[in-house]
Amino acid sequence: MTVSSARYFRTLKTLDTFVDRSLELQYKGPTLSGFHYNRDLLKSAVAKTYLETVGNRADSIHLAIKKVHISNIVWEFRNTVEHLGTRFDLKTKNVVLAFDYTDEDFYGDPKSMWIYGAPGVHGVTGKFKFLSCFIVNSDIPQRIPLLSVPVKLGHNMATTVSWCIGLIEPLVNSVDLTIFDRGFYSKDLMLTLAHSEYPYLIFVPKNPQIKSEIESMQVGEKKKILYDYTVNKEKTVFKGKTTLAFLKQIFDKKSEKFYDWAFATNQSAIDLDYIIPTYKKRWRIETGFRVQDEARISSKSIDPKIRFFFFAYEQILQLLWVVLYKEEVSFKQFLLEMYELCAARYKEP
């Protein structure tokens, strides 16, 4: 199917607006703007390479990013989601949200509050990390990234997650559920979400206490128990409670194996027959990250603003494709045709 140039042109203007407002630039202003920068950004995304290898504006783009605060990029990301959400009535939707961390490789001296030390293969010395939130409803085909933020060493996970949900809430009708993997199992997060009245489902790691509980069950048994806990915070002890759900040796059709499961939830009436399929919706976020990887803009920068802007830009490209073109062209074709139009509209003097 062929997409008209007029449609791509309107989409390109949306991309221009995202760059301009994120970086506080003016179209036809005294400096370069998204109109000029998108050519190199898109070419870099298509080729999955560094800006420096596709054009001569890398230094200019880096300088523009360094001049703004990270919050500029976060808010414009959110505003773009709100704008595109009108295409499928996002504000009328009751959504299920999935949170996850993703990272990008760093090569060099990892002495920064924004770089997590993680020596690996091929010279990787650390990771930049980002917290992302996606819609994962079965009844909403647009599984889009709603918000992403960079996270530094020592960040408060509970506060960051709660802040993100607070930004997302006005974009939708209601948040019916938030889903997390085992890396988010935290008493502080559960207490924070409960106090904010956000419903949650968290996969619980099998620590000795959880293993002991499961070992006492019969094969195929499912049960719930009320779990009281305390959180020491700011020299104060806070009391909380959650429901722990246990499921022993449940058959998985896809892998044809039996697994033990444990979850924490503040939904006391949750149906144990549907809790595993409900949690598995979170895996759709992995598909989103794989799509984004097709537009990865490489960078050697140690500046978190630069790394986050590129990350957000990649997700905006994914957002535009999912909402506007997914049923017509592949993501790769969308990127290529967007770049070709961008290159055609602007010629180097």
Which residue has tokens 């791509």?
8
What's the pLDDT band for 289 if we cut at 50, 70, 90? confident
For residue 86, the domain's CATH number is 3.90.350
Q: Is the pLDDT of residue 348 over 60?
A: no
Choose between 109 and 64: higher pLDDT. Answer: 64
Q: What is the pLDDT of residue 1?
A: 62
Q: Name the strand (E) or helix (H) holding 175.
A: strand 174-180
Q: Which of 13-22, 112-121, 182-191, 230-239 has the lowest mean pLDDT?
A: 112-121
The pLDDT of residue 349 is 45
pLDDT band at 206 (very low <50, low <70, confident <90, very high): very high
Answer for the pair 244, 204: CB distance below 8 angstroms, yes or no: yes
| pLDDT at residue 270 in the model | 85
* C-alpha torsion angle, residues 165, 152, 234, 268 (rounded to 10): 40
Q: Give dist(CA 261, CA 204) in Å, integer.
A: 8
Q: What is the pLDDT of residues 110-158, one digit of tens each?
A: 788 999 987 667 788 889 999 999 999 988 888 889 999 999 999 999 9
User: What is the average pLDDT across 228-237?
Assistant: 90
Lowest mean pLDDT among 2-11, 182-191, 333-342: 2-11
Helix (H) or strand (E) holding 100: strand 94-106
As a whole number, mean pLDDT of residues 181-210 equals: 95
Number of domains comprising the chain:
1
Percentage of the chain exceeding pLDDT 90 = 79
pLDDT tens digits for range 71-103? 999 999 999 999 999 999 999 999 999 999 999
Q: Is 123 exposed, middle or buried (0-12, 13-18, 19+ CB in 10 A)?
A: exposed
Rounded (5°) CA angle 39-57-32: 75
CA end-to-end span of the chain, whole Å? 34
CA distances, 218 to each of 207, 215, 249, 250 (Å): 19, 8, 9, 11
Domain ranges, residue 135: 5-345
pLDDT greater than 90 at residue 8: yes
Say if strands 174-180 and 200-203 run parallel, antiparallel, or are unpaired.
Answer: parallel
Q: Is 122 left (phi over 0), alpha (psi -120 to 50) or beta?
A: left
Higher pLDDT: 290 or 82? It is: 82
Instruction: Provide the pLDDT for residue 184.
Output: 97
- pLDDT by residue (tens digit) across 292-335? 999 999 998 999 999 999 999 999 999 999 999 999 999 999 99
Helical residues (DSSP H) of the chain, grouped into ranges = 5-22, 34-47, 58-66, 70-85, 157-168, 187-195, 208-215, 275-280, 284-293, 304-324, 331-345
Nearest 5°: the CA angle 98, 145, 199 is 30
Top pLDDT among 29 and 126 is at 126
